[in-house]
Chains A and B, each alone.
Chain A
Amino acid sequence: MSDEPQDRRVDRRAFLARMGALGAAAALGTPFAASGSDGLGSAGLRMSGLEGAEEFWQEVKRTLPTTVDSPAELTASEAAALVREGTLDPMELVEACLDRIGRWDERYLAFNTVLAEEARSSARALNVEGDDGGLLRGVPLAVKDNFYTEGVLTTANSHIFRDFRPEWDAEAVRRLRSAGGIVIGKTQMGPLATTRALTPDGQVTTVNAWTPGNPSVSPGGSSSGSATAVAARMASSSIGTQTGGSITVPALAQGLTGLKPTMGRVSLRGVIPLTYSRDHPGPIARDASDAALLLQVMAGPDPADPRTLGLPPVPDYLRAATPQGRPEGAKIRWPTRLGVLPGWDAGDDPAASGRRAFLREMEAAGVRMVEVTPSQRWNELSSSLMNAVRLPERTEPFLEYLREDVRLFGVSLNSWMQGLFLSADEYLKGQRARHALLASTLDEIFGQCDAVVQSGHVPFDMIGLPLLALPTGHRQTEDGPRPHGILLGAPPFGEERLLSIAAAWQARTEHHRVRAPVLDALREARALPPAGASRGRLSAEDVAERSQ
């Protein structure tokens, strides 16, 4: 195995040329296909073949908390390590999560469907079958409600899919289950993956786990329920999708580590589409170790999704997320130049202090800082104007529903309608601009560094490059502490690089371990409004404005 991360060994020009074809190639598939496929292989689902696995598990066990109130407090990696060594029964872990869902989710509204009996049955089956080396053996997972799940309602919080029970699992879900993961429920989301979690008609549902008494604080969208489920310790980890910030924004809002992988790294088969060429499935997790664990399982080729084929092999993400130099002082695993935008760390608010602390710690960990100044042209190409080019891609696969009854779209209707009014020449202009933006990013930014801080998610969403969010601290508000964090971007297949940076940071700090307030304590302190109280609503124009 090479001692370099994959981003150093991939031909970026080939990625550039490939990206242009992805949108059209993906469109050859059927967005709501009714049949499954075999998928490909099981590489990454099990321990075998991962050179870094042993080191990873040793590090997880070395840093295990000495005491926890409940197994539900364990991270996915910690839980998996304990299940592997036989000191934690998957059933005990499942029951601990179900207990919290039963007690608290009336307040959080993180789940659309709780799969209590199915989860118990899965845990029981794992105990009968014995350890087959599955990386996620016994780990309860929350799955966003736009991933197909066999026989289970998959609504995307939309009237369109209110009765939809797929006959097969999305490829990402299939892989999670094959690795021993237990799907404990389907999570609330922005209607059709547009904004924060709402009912189809715009009523606010999921709250931020840090501010359960104040529904006006966004939980981040659109993978809101997945993030709240993890932040409130109702699931060990979760998956979401990102078209416009829907993994990284909820992760930042709730003190979690979210990873949007490179376009094509994880199959989109069985995910209700929002934008063919920009949808990315990925983990919303407690820390870098958990994100690596889930991505290791989710990533890989799928013959039914052309976006996943012809890519470099899936590397060892567990190794990447294992910090070096512990316990004395964690060091970055590979020589790394981190691009910093001018003024990125300026300011006197807690978030800016967090950014400066991040840079200081990373320098101490051996990262070299490089100032990177994107050109005016780069800023133009990644502007909200160019972002609008995504809209026809969301409209086209839903035309039959628009013809049937526009009311099916509820509060999401406006942006689906806007997509009908961009002409082909303007759409084409946008595709050319994306090509130019990707080339500019590879030259202007990644010609100088291996990873770069970002102040927003849009550019990397537009061009399919990996993006990671992590917490860097907390600030006091009238609602209590709330997390803040940063975004890091990387070149094609730079997930290892991002995980290695996040792992080094999290080995040197404790921000990712700070827990959202325990709901029972808030309830006792009467810091919560009545459970059934209105949480407000967003209008169709609000949703279009905030749409991902």
Chain B
Amino acid sequence: MLGNPAPRFAPKESANVPHDRSHDPNATHGRAPSDEELDAYIRTRLALIGIDLSVLPEEDSDAPADRVSVHRSIRNFLRNTVPALSAYELDPQAWPPVLYPAALPPVGEERLRER
């Protein structure tokens, strides 16, 4: 595992969350999603935000882009980048993201005069 060995906030599984999901026919049980499942996810996400790939040819290596290659590219991204990034651990106390509305401390003359 990459990252900092700092303690986590809480155990991974809470007592209130059922551990056994064998009754759920849709559960993946840690199995890697298939191409079909990822393609369904891709189509759903694009439909939700109004992006239409149907204007592209189905498969055409001479075209700038086609549906098959777009799906393949996104599936690779979902399989490789997303889980690895999700699994990377950073100490939540040490590295806040400092996103807006964080303060913008001056690093210019005002700060220089303090030194």
A21 touches B104 (CB 8 A): yes
B105 touches A407 (CB 8 A): no
| Nearest 6 Cβ contacts at the A-B interface | A20-B98, A24-B100, A14-B107, A414-B73, A431-B97, A21-B102
Chain A residues touching B, range = 35 or more
Choose among A11, A20, A200, A417 the residue that contacts B99 (Cβ–Cβ < 8 A): A20
A429 touches B107 (CB 8 A): no
Interface residues of B in 15-61 (CB under 8 A from A): 42, 45-46, 49-53, 55-56, 61
Choose among B51, B61, B107 the residue that contacts A492 (Cβ–Cβ < 8 A): B107
**What's the minimum C-beta distance from A43 to chain B, rounded to whole angstroms?**
14
A-B contacts, 20 of them at CB < 8 A, read A11-B111, A11-B115, A17-B98, A18-B104, A18-B105, A19-B98, A20-B98, A21-B98, A24-B100, A202-B64, A310-B104, A312-B107, A388-B85, A406-B51, A407-B55, A411-B64, A414-B73, A418-B73, A421-B78, A423-B82
B86 interface residue per 8 A CB criterion: yes
Binds B, one of A46-54, A59-67, A121-129, A397-405: A397-405
Task: Please name all residues of chain A whose beta carbon is closer than 8 Å to the beta carbon of B84 when the two chains form the complex.
Answer: 385
Interface residues of A in 7-29 (CB under 8 A from B): 9-11, 14-15, 17-21, 23-25, 27
A421 touches B96 (CB 8 A): no
The majority secondary structure among interface residues of chain B is loop
A429 touches B70 (CB 8 A): no
B102 touches A407 (CB 8 A): no
Task: Please name all residues of chain B whose beta carbon is closer than 8 Å to the beta carbon of A402 when the two chains form the complex.
Answer: 51
**What's the minimum C-beta distance from A431 to chain B, rounded to whole angstroms?**
4
Give A433 to B70 CA distance when docked, in angstroms.
Answer: 28
A414 touches B65 (CB 8 A): yes
B88 touches A429 (CB 8 A): yes
B10 interface residue per 8 A CB criterion: no
Task: Please name all residues of chain B whose beta carbon is closer than 8 Å to the beta carbon of A439 when the two chains form the complex.
Answer: 95
Give A277 to B56 CA distance when docked, in angstroms.
Answer: 31
A131 interface residue per 8 A CB criterion: no
**What's the minimum C-beta distance from B39 to chain A, rounded to whole angstroms?**
12
A310 touches B106 (CB 8 A): yes
Task: Please name all residues of chain A whose beta carbon is closer than 8 Å to the beta carbon of B56 when the two chains form the complex.
Answer: 406-407
The majority secondary structure among interface residues of chain A is helix
A407 touches B65 (CB 8 A): yes
Give A436 to B115 CA distance when docked, in angstroms.
Answer: 25
Give A97 to B77 CA distance when docked, in angstroms.
Answer: 45
Chain B residues touching A, range = 35 or more
A385 touches B70 (CB 8 A): no
A522 interface residue per 8 A CB criterion: no
Task: Please name all residues of chain A whose beta carbon is closer than 8 Å to the beta carbon of B106 when the two chains form the complex.
Answer: 14, 310
Cβ proximity bits A364-405 to B, threshold 8 Å, 1 near / 0 not:
000000000000010010000110110000000001001101
B69 touches A414 (CB 8 A): yes
Binds B, one of A85-93, A478-486, A536-544: A536-544
- Counting chain A CB atoms within 10 Å of each CB, which of B55, B73, B78 scores highest? B73
**What's the minimum C-beta distance from A250 to chain B, rounded to whole angstroms?**
23
Give A23 to B100 CA distance when docked, in angstroms.
Answer: 8
B82 touches A421 (CB 8 A): yes
A422 interface residue per 8 A CB criterion: yes
- Given A399-B49, A421-B78, A23 and B99 touching (CB < 8 A)? yes
Give A142 to B16 CA distance when docked, in angstroms.
Answer: 64
Task: Please name all residues of chain A whose beta carbon is closer than 8 Å to the beta carbon of B73 when the two chains form the complex.
Answer: 414, 417-418, 540-541, 544
**What's the minimum C-beta distance from B84 to chain A, rounded to whole angstroms?**
5
- Given A407-B56, A413-B64, A421-B74, A436 and B95 touching (CB < 8 A)? yes
B85 touches A385 (CB 8 A): yes
Interface residues of B in 62-78 (CB under 8 A from A): 64-66, 69-70, 72-74, 77-78
Choose among A313, A433, A540 the residue that contacts B88 (Cβ–Cβ < 8 A): A433
- Given A310-B106, A541-B69, A429 and B86 touching (CB < 8 A)? yes
Give A421 to B70 CA distance when docked, in angstroms.
Answer: 12
**What's the minimum C-beta distance from B55 to chain A, rounded to whole angstroms?**
6
A531 interface residue per 8 A CB criterion: no
Task: Please name all residues of chain B whose beta carbon is closer than 8 Å to the beta carbon of A385 when the two chains form the complex.
Answer: 81, 84-85, 88
Choose among A18, A399, A425 the residue that contacts B107 (Cβ–Cβ < 8 A): A18
**What's the minimum C-beta distance from B102 to chain A, rounded to whole angstroms?**
4
